[in-house]
Structure formats: C-alpha cells, structure tokens
Amino acid sequence: MRRLVLFCTAILCLGFTTVALAQDPLKVDPKHYTLVSENDQVRILKIHYGPHEKSVMHSHPSTVVVFLSDSNGKFTFPDGKTEDFTTKTGEAMYGEAGTHLPENTGDKPLDGILVELKGKAGAAKPAAAAKPATTAKATKK
C-alpha cells in the first residue's frame, strides 16, 4: 500500500512539473528565442528553429507573430492535444495567452518575429481556455 501511495504521488508530481516548468521562453529556450526589444507595452522576440527542432513547454501572454519563412510546425499543449500549422512568409498570426511546446516539423528553418503584448491586452487566461487562434492553416488532432 505504501508503494502505491508513493507511486501515485510521484506520477502526480510529474504531471504538475510540466505545467510548473512552463515559463518564459527566453529563460527555458534561449536556443530558439532571442530578445530584440522590450518596453512597458510589448516584448519583441526573434524566433529561429532549425529543421525538425523542438522547444520545451513554455508560456506567452497574448502574441502577434510575423513569419519570415514558409514553415510547417506543431504545437503541443499541456493537456497533450496537438495542433499542426502551416505558414507562408509574411503571414501574421495572433495567439491568445497560453502554454505550448512548439516544434518545426518541416525540412526548412522556421523564422519569425514574435510580439508579446503586455498589460491588459496580454493578460494571461486560464490554461484550459488559452490556445492560439491563427490566420495560418491549422489542423487540430
């Protein structure tokens, strides 16, 4: 019985670890995100993923991204659901505040400029309600 309780506790802690570790992409994934500029209203990040590179679970306030390359990718959300996306160079996408794990599923680099909105416009929403809305072609799984 004691082992069962320890096992269940360990599984529960691992589940919460994924959500707890979901944080600032500049801190948890500096390989793919670099700071371009920041003020009291926005934070601007450069995004670069090589072919088939994957990030780690992280969070953003509400965002606008402009893609600098054609790309194919996938978002994985904390609940395990995924959403594939396809973008074209110059295409813009709005995303509500949320937590995700992005992945470049294509054979070419994925590049973009991400503008995180601060204050009321970028306020975080509950994790269950937060997910990106896009103008890019998206397919939910």
Cα(92)–Cα(112) distance, rounded to whole angstroms?
9
Domain residues for the domain of 136 are 2-140
Residue with tokens 């082992």: 3
CATH of the domain at 37: 2.60.120.10
Q: Higher-confidence residue: 93 or 20?
A: 93
19 — pLDDT class (breaks 50, 70, 90): very low
Amino acid at 80: G
Beta bridge partners of 138: 85
Number of domains the chain is built from:
1
Where does residue 130 rank: exposed (0-12), middle (13-18), buried (19+ CB within 10 A)?
Answer: buried
Q: What is the pTM of this model?
A: 0.72
Residue with tokens 């074209």: 88
CA atoms within 13 A on the CB side of 125: 13
| pLDDT tens per residue across span 61-118 | 999 999 999 999 999 999 999 999 999 999 999 999 999 999 999 999 999 999 999 9
Phi/psi at 60 (5° precision): -135, 150
Cα(44)–Cα(54) distance, rounded to whole angstroms?
21
